Amino acid sequence: MKPVRHSDAPAPGELLGAHYGQCFGCGDEQPHGLHLQARAGEGVSITAEFTVQAAHQGAPGLAHGGVLATALDETLGSLNWLLRTIAVTGRLETDFVRPVPVGTVLYLEAEVTAVAGRKIYCTATGRIGGPGGPVAVRADALFIEVKVDHFIDHGREEEIQAAMSDPDQVRRARAFEVNP
């Protein structure tokens, strides 16, 4: 089924912000995290970027492949803001096309390609040197829609309690629980 942008989704160009401050991908409370910045795009797409820091390297001077996969996963997961759905990664298939040096800004583009029941299919591309630069990484993913109880049932109690006491997190969780 063709994906449909939710009527309450952030407007194109709007910064999505972190879904959780401690998230390694987008959280601003993680000193060595990616601090990935994602913006809503047209339709059911987003753009994002992050700068590869020294803490993100695997081989000397190059981004660790797992960090690049994390950037793709975070970008793809951010698409769910446009569907107003809570979803988790079910599958992530990643292709590493070229090395990404420390200090590089990785520009990411992602879109939802299909929705089938609780399954959300999406794809992403990461480029170096700008949005039109050479492809460095790409991924295809399957996300599975879940309810907020998924995190309550499986998360660590102290983090769940901290998130549930944060009015902004509670507001977001309640807003996403109302699905069309």
Residue 167 has pLDDT above 60, yes or no: no
- Would you give the DSSP letter of residue 56? G
Each residue of 90-116: b (16+ CB within 10 Å) or e? eebebeeeeebeeebebbbbbbbeebe
Picking from 22-26, 48-52, 91-95, 125-129, which range would have the lowest pLDDT averaged per residue?
22-26
Which domains can be identified in the chain, with CATH numbers?
1-146 (3.10.129.10), 147-180 (no CATH)
73-97 pLDDT, tens digit per residue, is 999 999 988 998 889 999 999 999 9
pTM (2 d.p.): 0.81
Q: Distance between CA atoms of 92 and 72, rounded to whole angstroms? A: 9
